[in-house]
Every structure is written in structure tokens, then in C-alpha cells.
């Protein structure tokens, strides 16, 4: 029986099987991702402007804080839905409330970047998190085996949300240290709750890998949009068209290569224990944040090529080089290093190091694109050698 066939106003929220067949992302989850990408785009745009205006430290700091709120709310819903998606009316409405919270958060991004005012972002974040608390309370009522796990989640999330609200009333000089402490508290909630009696929750490895993969694709799409804008800008203004077309092509190669590297191996086989699942899930903060920042970096280079930026060519190059290098490292640590051996294993960190050197030379974006294309070729060749070695010898 499908979710649609059994859907009602309120059905018991029992744990779904971790090996359920044909488990795939639902239309509601896809809508959730789409709306969250609105918040991602709102965070990447002021990062682009901050770097262009040579306010790099402020822009990067604000971006990392805002992106944590977006990513953490998305991640918590994703893992909860993998274990407890009932698709009844109450579940749908509660999820739509979380989406509304994401849009409130997106509305507060500009004031956070420009004036350091995080009130609207915090309120949107708390809306998302408290909506999830109601879901965990439903799970605690119906899933007797994991009642303590669900109540631990509900209590932990609620306490941390109260602390986020208290943070708004404290002096600005405390803002960053308190942010770091509360981030640590947020990260500890799942790590501790999943170890409660009856845990862990029954997340579906295939479903989780698909959800993360879909969000990676959507976030990388922000960079494709930036490459498109680069060409359109050149056509509209009739200046520097050759440079912008080269930038657009290089940007597309970068995005295509990163997509290839991320999806080269199936990820669900890595989610075998609670420890590896937490590391894999948490490590994607850097993948998602870096992928979105690549789009902002392309915008920075466009502004530099059009002489609209107040930064040097080296800084403009690093606007792309740094997020690309950062993205390569967690892909290597999370997807490659656990399953690959041999000389090809070193290709990722070596490429990341070379990417960081590219801004010191001419055409850094093109050089980065060539480096990533070469890494894809090395990865594909290594995978084929491994597969060939695993095949039994023919008589």
C-alpha cells in the first residue's frame, strides 16, 4: 500500500523500515528542497557582493553562520523524514510550517549581512526547529521502542531554541562566541539522542544518500545560474564578451566535474554505523556551503572582469579557488578515502593544493577547470582499474 493510498488526517507515526524497498524522495521533500534553495540563494548573493566590495572577512563570517541555520534545519528534517514520514495531513502541514520558517529566514539574510541583525533569521530558524519538535513528540507517542530517543530529540532541540532566543537579548560582543557554543549544542543533540535506549532511528541509507545527492545537485545549480549570468552580462553590455564566455565555459566545466566526482561512487554503502552516518551527514555542511559559494565566486569574477569590483585579480580568483578546494576535501574524506586505495587516492588533496595555487597565475578559473577535468579522468581510470582487478580471470 502506498503512502497516498493510506494517507489520512492523522495516522500513527511508527518507524519505517531501514531496508524498505523502492524508497525514494517524495514530492513534499522535493518542495522542501526547492524552498530551502531560495534561502541558499539569498545567502550566496550577499556573499558575492561582500567579496566584490572587499569586505571579505565580514561576508564570509556572515555567510557561514547563515548557511549553518539553513543546512542544519534541512538536515534534521531529512533524517527525521527518512525514519518517520507518514505523509498524513498533520505531517504535511507541519512540514509546510518548516518551509515557511525557511522563507522567514531567507527574508532576514540581508539585514544579517548589512547590519549584523540576526533577529529575523533566528525567528525563522526557531520556527523550523520547533515544528520538528512536534514531529518528534508524535514519534514518541507512537514508537514505543524509540520513545526515549524521540523525547531526547524533542527536549534537546527545545532547550537549544530557547538559548538561541536568549542570545538575541545579549550584547553584540557575545554574539560570535555564543553562536559557536550553540552550534556545538545543536550538533550534540543527535549524537546523544541516537544513543538513548531503543536507538538509533531507522533511517534508510538509500533514501538519505538520494536526498543529499538531490540537494547537492540543486546547490550546484546556483553556479550554473551564475555562469549563465556571466554570458548574459557580456551580451547586454557588449564588453569583455570573450573573457566572460571563457569564464562561463570554465564555470560549467567546474560544476560538471564536481558533480561527476560527487556521484562517482554510491554513497549509501558508507552509512553502515551511527558514527559513520553522523560524520557523513555533518561533513556535508562543507560540501553544501562550498558548492553554493562557488556560484558567488563566479559572480565575483564576473564583476572583476567587468571592472566593477574593488579587489585584486588574486582575491577574485580565490573567490572560486577556496570553495572548490574546500569541496574537494570532504568528497575525498567522505566518499573516496573509505573505499579507495593506491596512488589515485592522493589525487584529490594534490588537486586541492594546486587549485589553491591557481589564483597566482593567469586565467585562474580556466586553470581550475582543467585541474578538475584531469581529476575526473584520474578518478574514472582508477575506478576502471579497480573494477578490472576485481573481475575473475577468464579461462
CA nearest to 218, candidates 53, 25, 5: 25
Per-residue pLDDT tens over the stretch 353-385? 999 999 999 899 999 999 999 999 988 887 776
Neighbours of 20 (CB within 10 A): 12
| CA torsion angle 148 151 156 162 (round to 10) | -160
Helix, strand, coil percent content, the chain, rounded in steps of 5: 80, 0, 20
- Tell me the pLDDT band of 187, cut-offs 50, 70 and 90: very high
Close Cβ partners of 105 (under 8 Å, ≥ 6 residues apart): 39, 66, 69, 70, 73, 120, 121, 124, 125, 128
> How many other β-carbons are positioned within 10 Å of the β-carbon of residue 242?
9
- Grid coordinates belonging to 183: 552550534
**Domain 205-390, CATH among 1.20.1740, 1.10.3470, 3.90.550, 1.20.1410:** 1.20.1410
Three-class SS of 91-120: HHHHHHHHHHHHHHHHHCHHHHHHHCCCHH
Give the domain ranges of the chain: 3-9+23-193, 205-390
Total-model pTM: 0.89
Cell 497516498 found at: 4
> In this predicted model, what pLDDT tens digit does every residue of 208-266 receive, in sequence order?
999 999 999 989 987 788 777 766 776 676 666 778 888 888 988 999 999 999 998 87
For the chain, report the end-to-end CA distance as a whole number of angstroms: 48
User: Is residue 310 pLDDT above 60, yes or no?
Assistant: yes
* Burial category of 293 from C-beta neighbours within 10 Å (exposed 0-12, middle 13-18, buried 19 and up): buried
| Coil, helix or strand at residue 248 | helix
Q: Which residue is associated with the grid cell 553522523?
A: 278
Amino acid at each position: 500500500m502506498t503512502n497516498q493510498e493510506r494517507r489520512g488526517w492523522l495516522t500513527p507515526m511508527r518507524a519505517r523500515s531501514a531496508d524498505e524497498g523502492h524508497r525514494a524522495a517524495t514530492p513534499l521533500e522535493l518542495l522542501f528542497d526547492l524552498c530551502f534553495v531560495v534561502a541558499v540563494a539569498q545567502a550566496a548573493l550577499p556573499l558575492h557582493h561582500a567579496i566584490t566590495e572587499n569586505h571579505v572577512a565580514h561576508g564570509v563570517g556572515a555567510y557561514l553562520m547563515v548557511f549553518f541555520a539553513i543546512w542544519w534545519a534541512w538536515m534534521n528534517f531529512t533524517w527525521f523524514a527518512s525514519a518517520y514520514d507518514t505523509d498524513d495531513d498533520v505531517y504535511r502541514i507541519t512540514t509546510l510550517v518548516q518551509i515557511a520558517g525557511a522563507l522567514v529566514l531567507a527574508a532576514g539574510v540581508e539585514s544579517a549581512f548589512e547590519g549584523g541583525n540576526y533577529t529575523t533569521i533566528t525567528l525563522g530558524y526557531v520556527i523550523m526547529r520547533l515544528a520538528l519538535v512536534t514531529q518528534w513528540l508524535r514519534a514518541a507517542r507512537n514508537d514505543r521502542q524509540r520513545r526515549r530517543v524521540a523525547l531526547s530529540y524533542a527536549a534537546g532541540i527545545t532547550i537549544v531554541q530557547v538559548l538561541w532566543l536568549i542570545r538575541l537579548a545579549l550584547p553584540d560582543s557575545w554574539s560570535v562566541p555564543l553562536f559557536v557554543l550553540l552550534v556545538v549544542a545543536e550538533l550534540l543533540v543527535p549524537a546523544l539522542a541516537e544513543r538513548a535506549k531503543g536507538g538509533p532511528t531507522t533511517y534508510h541509507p538509500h533514501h538519505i544518500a538520494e536526498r543529499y545527492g538531490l540537494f547537492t545537485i540543486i546547490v550546484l545549480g546556483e553556479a550554473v545560474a551564475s555562469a549563465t549570468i556571466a554570458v548574459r552580462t557580456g551580451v547586454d553590455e557588449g564588453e569583455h564578451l570573450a573573457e566572460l564566455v571563457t569564464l562561463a565555459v570554465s564555470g560549467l566545466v567546474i560544476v560538471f566535474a564536481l558533480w561527476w566526482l560527487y556521484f562517482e561512487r554510491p554513497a549509501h554503502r558508507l552509512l553502515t554505523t551511527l558514527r559513520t552516518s553522523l560524520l557523513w551527514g555533518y561533513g556535508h555542511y562543507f560540501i553544501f556551503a562550498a558548492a553554493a559559494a562557488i556560484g558567488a565566486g563566479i559572480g565575483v569574477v564576473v564583476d572583476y572582469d567587468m571592472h566593477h569590483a574593488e579587489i585584486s585579480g588574486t582575491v577574485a580568483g580565490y573567490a572560486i579557488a577556496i570553495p572548490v578546494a574546500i569541496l574537494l576535501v570532504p568528497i575525498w574524506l567522505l566518499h573516496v578515502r573509505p573505499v579507495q586505495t593506491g596512488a589515485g587516492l592522493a589525487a584529490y588533496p594534490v588537486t586541492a593544493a594546486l587549485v589553491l595555487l591557481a589564483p597566482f597565475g593567469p586565467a585562474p578559473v580556466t586553470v581550475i577547470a582543467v585541474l578538475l577535468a584531469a581529476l575526473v579522468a584520474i578518478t574514472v581510470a582508477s575506478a576502471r582499474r579497480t573494477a578490472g582487478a576485481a573481475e575473475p580471470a577468464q579461462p
